[in-house]
Amino acid sequence: MDPDHAIGRVHSRDQKSMLEECPRCHLNVLPMAESLCPNCRKSILDLAGARPELTRLSIRERTRMPACCHQCGTQTARSVRVREVAGPITDTPLLQGIVQLLVALVGGLFAALAVSASTSKASRHEVTIFLPQCEICARGGQPRPIHTDFDEFAMTFLVHVRFKEQILRD
Ligand SMILES: [Zn+2]
Ligand SMILES: [Zn+2]
């Protein structure tokens, strides 16, 4: 076995295990001196005002969701539609959009779908996820992603650790 390679592997594993999730900003960080989070500059050991039961999770479109509220982790059959649309669409020519609109008006839905399917995957600039949210948490408002990845069709949410456990188990 190549000794350098083996050392490299051990080294990278150690680096990874040193990353800790900050209980405030929920980023995986390498704590600075005195256990300070390099992002929010608070101690990751001081849990006052922190929400350690929450964690960041990236969820892809069409992921099978558990019957578990993403915010509080209780059982729920209710879910809400979260749709994110990218800002100005730069790589879709205006003409293509007009053609699509005309086809939709003249040829009906079927023809419009055919045109949509013929355009490249990269030209779709929206992501829709049906996220489980119980009635009580819904009173606090519509869930909003921390980040949306339009290339991966994924959104990152702050979720309850129980929801994460269940989604990873399914
Ligand atoms: Zn932090
Ligand atoms: Zn809830």
User: Structural domain of residue 7, as residue ranges?
Assistant: 1-52
Q: Answer whether residue 36 is part of any domain.
A: yes
Q: Answer whether residue 15 is part of any domain.
A: yes
Q: Give 59-115 pLDDT, tens digit per residue.
A: 999 999 999 999 999 999 999 999 999 976 555 556 666 666 666 666 665 555 555
Q: How many angstroms separate the alpha carbon of residue 36 from the centre of ligand 1?
A: 8
Q: Which of 160, 168, 169 is nearest to 75 (CA)?
A: 160
Can you give the pTM of this predicted structure? 0.67
Q: Answer whether residue 43 is part of any domain.
A: yes
What span, in angstroms and rounded, lies between the C-alpha atoms of 148 and 169?
23
Are 86 and 78 within 8 A, CB to CB? no
Indicate the residue type of 11.
H
In three-state secondary structure terms, 58 is strand
Q: How confident is the model at residue 137 (pLDDT cuts 50, 70, 90)?
A: very high
Element (H, E) at 59: strand 54-60
Alpha-carbon distances, residue 130 vs 35, 144, 150, 158 (angstroms): 37, 12, 16, 15
**Residue showing tokens 């190549």:** 2
Q: How many angstroms separate the alpha carbon of residue 133 from the centre of ligand 2?
A: 5
Q: Give 27-59 pLDDT, tens digit per residue.
A: 999 999 999 999 999 999 999 989 999 999 999
Number of domains in the chain: 1
Q: Answer whether residue 4 is part of any domain.
A: yes
Give the other-Cβ count within 10 Å of 48's Cβ. 8
Give the other-Cβ count within 10 Å of 121's Cβ. 7
Which ligand has an atom closest to residue 159 CA? 2
Q: How many angstroms separate the alpha carbon of residue 122 from the centre of ligand 2?
A: 34
Q: Answer whether residue 72 is part of any domain.
A: no
